[in-house]
Amino acid sequence: MGINEDRSVHTDDVANKIVGRDAYIERLKNGETVVFGEPGNSMDPIIKHRQKCVYAPVGAPEMLERGQVVFCKVGPYHYTHMIKQIRHEKEDWMFLICRRDGRENGWTPLSNIYGRVIEVLPSSVTQKQIDVILRERNAHLPQAAAKISEKPGSNSAKRGKAQKPSTRSRNK
């Protein structure tokens, strides 16, 4: 499940907020749990195309093990793939990342492993259920209560806005 292009980097001119994949990376680096789904079938049947997963931050190499599914960067590409091998090299831990079928993406340092999959959510999960999951998992973080997993511009991001009244005239 890789994203070949860095199309998810956008800035909002008004609020200057990071959205998309870069926002998830920042949240994970700040100790937050996030939920999102990546495109691709490289992890099928474990994770299907765009199936939402719960990602927890990675704080130390001891939190990772062979066979574990992680969100990471290998070279210029981002993947939700598995750890095939682990080795300690010089001052850093290195991880060999691969698809479910064993095809290797390459080695990456711990600093490029942003999160680990702790739950694969059913395809029927609702945004309301995702919000509950995130509230519970991020309760220890003071700033996380208001954050949700959806990108700005989605229906869930518009919930708090007042809707304009209809301009259509009613037939009496």
Domain extent listing, the chain: 2-150
> What does the pLDDT profile of the chain (172 residues) look like in tens digits?
654 444 444 444 434 678 889 999 999 999 999 999 999 999 999 999 999 999 999 989 999 999 999 999 999 999 999 999 999 988 899 999 999 999 999 999 999 999 999 999 999 999 999 999 999 999 988 764 444 444 444 444 333 333 333 444 444 4
Q: Write the CATH number of the domain with boundaries 2-150.
A: 2.10.109.10
**Which is nearest to 131 in space by CA: 72, 81, 48, 121?**
121
pTM: 0.74
Give the C-alpha separation, 27 to 56, whole Å. 10
pLDDT at residue number 150: 43
pLDDT of residue 16: 60
Q: What is the pLDDT of residue 2?
A: 59
Bond preceding residue 45 cis, omega within 30 of 0: yes
Task: Look at residue 116 and give its three-state secondary structure.
Answer: strand
Which residues pair with residue 86 across a beta bridge?
A: 95
Q: What is the pLDDT of residue 157?
A: 39
CA 29 to chain centre: 11
Q: Position 71: which residue type?
A: F
